[in-house]
Amino acid sequence: MREAVIIEGVRSAVGRGKGVLAGIRPDELAAKVLEELVDRAGVEKRVVEDVILGCVS
């Protein structure tokens, strides 16, 4: 088993039920969060093997 490493944490914006984020699909919002994550962490996308993405409301 290989070692797991947590490099950074990022959260998305929070919106209202019919607010400005209502037209954005969850996978599109997750993609934006992941883009920001690799930018902040300074890692290349190609070295990321697994992502654990959670949703809490």
Tens-place pLDDT, residues 1-57: 578 777 788 888 777 778 888 888 888 988 988 899 899 989 888 988 888 888 776
pLDDT confidence of residue 1: 54
pTM of the model: 0.69
pLDDT confidence of residue 4: 79
CB 7 within 8 A of CB 43: yes
pLDDT confidence of residue 57: 64
17-40 as b/e: b if 16+ CB within 10 A: eeeeeeeeeeeeeeeeeeeebbee
What are the structural domain ranges in the chain? 1-57
Looking at residue 17, its amino acid is: G
